[in-house]
Amino acid sequence: MNILVINCGSSSLKYQLIDSDSKDVLAKGLCERIGIEGSQITHTPKGGEKKTEQIPMPDHVAAVDAVLAKLTDATVGVVTSLDQIDAVGHRIVHGGEKFASSVVITDEVIKAIEEVSDLAPLHNPANLIGIRSCQKLMPGVPMVAVFDTAFHQTMPKKAYLYGLPYEYYEKYKVRRYGFHGTSHDYVSGRIAQILGKKREDLKIIVCHLGNGASVSAVMNGECVDTSMGLTPLEGLIMGTRCGDIDPAVIGFLAQKEGKTAEEMIDICNKKSGVLGLSGGVSSDFRDLAAAEESGNELASTALSAWSYRVAKYIGAYTAAMNGVDVIVFTAGVGENNITARAEIMSYLGYLGVTVNEDANCVRGEEVEISTADSNVKVWVVPTDEEMAIAEQTAALV
């Protein structure tokens, strides 16, 4: 089946056309600056060249239209007609408590996604625009919603409740939800496959370390805890997000700096993390490593604080599961940053983790980076959220 995977943001739209049987990515691309002057589409057909073209895209319908034109184009296209697109899988950021798995999109599902939109006001409305635009241009093609939060819906109450008055949970559903669920689900499933075991029989800690980052604890085949919360701001120190802080900091700084709570939260989301800690060097780990190398102390502190936080979460989740069999690194930093992995593993001696330094030099591949006699196995497993969305979509339609 040919599945079009759509990840729609407020002014951008990422897409991949995937053959879910052969697991071939037939084409992929990105529309940027939708609704803004200078909108452009970057399209890469399988085996072909990546090309960027300026196309006016005043709204998301125009963006989806441009994507479909590229996919069916006589020269850079990969299908001859839209009939060859069997289904569309949409990445939806927040499913609230309503969605514990992916679902075929119906009017009721759209209504339910709308109802939880106040939990993700920047993301869900954009995701819905993506759904409606596809429905308009591809009437009758089945569509599936795949939620970032769904995999974490198995967390027990003791893990997902905040220590706040219970009425806020009852009235507003304020609780921890977790994100990157498609990735945590895929990677924890894949590591079980690699080890030739059932996921149910393993205690797994997945470290999804990209620009956004989160850790999850998977036991008895289910997510039992994860580091992101009501929003993706909680947990690890990230590229630009602060992760866990004392909530009183917001009020304190709002008063000192004459800012509103919203402005402070914006700083916590966009100007903090390793970017903020390094005094503005970069949110990108390659830039930070280069700065550290040339003697920038703040860059070095930012990287140390980042890996220390990851190590603390691994410790916490080992306690939560009363043990751990395998720790897995994934996403941009987890898959590629050898130094960051080594630094995190340097904290794990108490677990009996021993590092295979030669294996840890590998980037972007499935590889065991602990030694054969390590008490806990440590692996790198590249994530593939788009493939997971395509597979779930194909399974449902």
Q: Catalytic positions, please?
A: 148
Cα–Cα distance, 264 to 133 (Å, whole number): 34
Using the contact rule CB under 6 A, the part of the chain among 118-126, 132-140, 279-287, 301-309 near ligand AMP is 279-287
Pick 25 or 78: Cβ nearer ligand AMP: 25
Using the contact rule CB under 6 A, the part of the chain among 15-23, 129-137, 326-334, 368-376 near ligand AMP is 326-334
Decide if 331 contacts 236 (C-beta within 8 A): no
| Residue of 332, 370, 385, 396 that binds ligand AMP (CB under 6 A) | 332
Token pair listed for 347: 């904290």
| Residue of 99, 177, 285, 329 that binds ligand AMP (CB under 6 A) | 285
Token pair listed for 114: 């709308």
Tell me the pairing of strands 326-330 and 203-209. parallel
| Residue of 286, 346, 349, 357 that binds ligand AMP (CB under 6 A) | 286
381 binds ligand AMP (CB under 6 A): no
Rg, the chain, Cα only: 21
Pick 66 or 281: Cβ nearer ligand AMP: 281
Mark residues 124-163: x for contact with ligand AMP by CB under 6 A, - for none.
----------------------------------------
| Residue of 337, 360, 370, 393 that binds ligand AMP (CB under 6 A) | 337
Non-local CB neighbours of 114 within 8 Å, separated by 6+ positions: 124, 128
Non-local CB neighbours of 340 within 8 Å, separated by 6+ positions: 209, 285, 303, 306, 307, 333, 334
Query: Least Å distance between CB 299 and ligand AMP?
Result: 13
119 binds ligand AMP (CB under 6 A): no
CA 382 to chain centre: 12
Mark residues 235-264: x for contact with ligand AMP by CB under 6 A, - for none.
----x-------------------------
210 binds ligand AMP (CB under 6 A): yes
* Helix pair 261-270, 248-257: axis angle to 10 deg: 110
Cα–Cα distance, 307 to 331 (Å, whole number): 15
Query: Least Å distance between CB 338 and ligand AMP?
Result: 8
Query: Least Å distance between CB 389 and ligand AMP?
Result: 16
331 binds ligand AMP (CB under 6 A): yes
Pick 133 or 337: Cβ nearer ligand AMP: 337
Find the helix or strand (DSSP H, E) in which 250 lies: helix 248-257
Find the helix or strand (DSSP H, E) in which 51 lies: strand 51-54
313 binds ligand AMP (CB under 6 A): no
For residue 180, the SS3 value is: coil
Handedness of CA 49, 53, 59, 62 (dihedral sign): negative
Q: What is the per-residue DSSP string for 79-114?
A: -SSGGG--EEEEEES--TTT-SS-EE--HHHHHHHH
Query: Least Å distance between CB 339 and ligand AMP?
Result: 8
211 binds ligand AMP (CB under 6 A): yes
Pick 41 or 333: Cβ nearer ligand AMP: 333
Site for ligand AMP in 359-378 (CB under 6 A): 363
Exposed e or buried b per residue across 256-287, where buried means at least 16 C-beta atoms within 10 angstroms of its C-beta: eeeeeeeebbebbbeebbbbbbbeebbbebee
215 binds ligand AMP (CB under 6 A): no
Query: Least Å distance between CB 142 and ligand AMP?
Result: 29
Binding site for ligand AMP (CB under 6 A): 210-211, 239, 284-286, 331-333, 336-337, 363
